[in-house]
Amino acid sequence: MNASDEAPIRGGFEIVAEGPWAGWWKWSGKDPFEDGTGPFFVKRDERGIVTGFRPETKNLNGHGIVHGGSLMTFADFSLFMVAASGGEEVSGVTVTMNCEFVSGAQAGDLLTARGECVRAGGSLVFARGTILRVGADGTEEAVLSFSGTIKRAKRTSH
């Protein structure tokens, strides 16, 4: 993927040109909580939408593993990206979010998430996915499974 490629989903995304996330996209909107927890990234590959996150020390709990709240914030970001995987931007709020913690993660681990849009109705969108820890050898291990419902924002005319 290069800078001339389209964003993986519609909306205000900027391509990352340098560093370990080069070729991924980052949302350019303002979300102070998400920005403080992440950064989170997204791209489209041969398997579809994939999101990415590399937790830092700031994301750890008192036991030295990635805090569940950090994982859930990444899952919420991923929920919206997966929900928009058909190419239609999904703007709204999370109504429900279910998470099952499968295993822990450490600072520095590469975490990715993949999933599917189960149903996109007129006012509600249902999606689910899994956060995976990606090993240096490319193996994937489930860290958290999630599902949720998004209530679409009402469109207003100006």
Which tokens in the block code for residue 33? 């909580």
Question: How far apart (Å, rounded) are the C-alpha atoms in residues 115 and 20?
Answer: 23
CATH of domain 13-151: 3.10.129.10
Sorted by where each begins, the domain ranges of the chain are 13-151
Which tokens in the block code for residue 131? 């956060």
Task: Supply the pTM of this predicted model.
Answer: 0.89
Question: How far apart (Å, rounded) are the C-alpha atoms in residues 7 and 9?
Answer: 5
**For residues 56-73, average pLDDT:** 97
More confident residue, 64 or 87: 64
For 83-110, what is each residue's pLDDT tens digit? Answer: 987 767 788 999 999 999 999 999 999 9
